[in-house]
Amino acid sequence: MRILGLDFGSRTVGVAVSDGLLLTAQGVETIERKEENKLRKTCARIEELIKEYEVGTIVLGLPKNMNNTEGERVEKTREFGEMLNRRTGLPVIYWDERLTTVAAEQVLMESGVRRENRKAVIDKVAACLILQGYLDRLLAEQTEKE
């Protein structure tokens, strides 16, 4: 079973998936929608990806404020996570995503991706960073038990 990583935004959802050994995250795609509250097609696409990649868990980035408080985006993200849980029956794990978009921007800049091309992939890269953080913690916990 693999793990799906999601970076949920107001108009896009970045998607990443783990490898079968749960060691690395790979970017899959960025799902775009015309309006913030139009989630039916977004959820349908995520369900397709869950089947395609044989996903058993979803990790959803939680956009907390820098002072660790939770604002409107966190509330919308939790609602989206609850919807995914109801639709798929899979557990949804919330992962602190503070500064992942900044880190994704830095990775893309260092990789030489032109500014006009970054917007198309930044959410997918952020989803990779969210999922990789979670995978790294899983590995660290497993190592501690041994």
Question: From CA 19, how far away is CA 117, in angstroms rounded?
Answer: 26
Over range 84-100, report the average pLDDT: 90
Instruction: Label the pairing between strands 12-18 and 2-8.
Output: antiparallel
- In contact, 22 and 135? CB cutoff 8 Å: yes
pLDDT attached to residue 86: 95
Residue 3 clears pLDDT 90, i.e. is over it? yes
pLDDT attached to residue 102: 66
Confidence of residue 67 (pLDDT cuts 50, 70, 90): confident
Q: What average pLDDT is seen over the chain?
A: 88
pLDDT attached to residue 118: 66
Residue 49 clears pLDDT 80, i.e. is over it? yes
Q: What's the domain count of the chain?
A: 1
Task: Write the Ramachandran bin of 54: left for phi over 0, alpha for psi from -120 to 50, otherwise beta.
Answer: left
Question: From CA 99, how far away is CA 129, in angstroms rounded?
Answer: 10
Higher pLDDT, 145 or 8: 8
Instruction: Label the pairing between strands 12-18 and 25-32.
Output: antiparallel
pLDDT attached to residue 94: 96
State the CATH number of the domain containing residue 23: 3.30.420.140
Over range 131-139, report the average pLDDT: 92
Provide the strand spans (E) within 46-87: 55-62
Closest by Cα among 45, 25, 35 to 136:
25
Domain of 87 in residue numbering reads as 2-145
- In contact, 56 and 20? CB cutoff 8 Å: no
Over range 10-38, report the average pLDDT: 91
Q: Give the CA angle between residues 18, 141, 79 to the nearest 5°.
A: 55
Residue 99 clears pLDDT 70, i.e. is over it? no
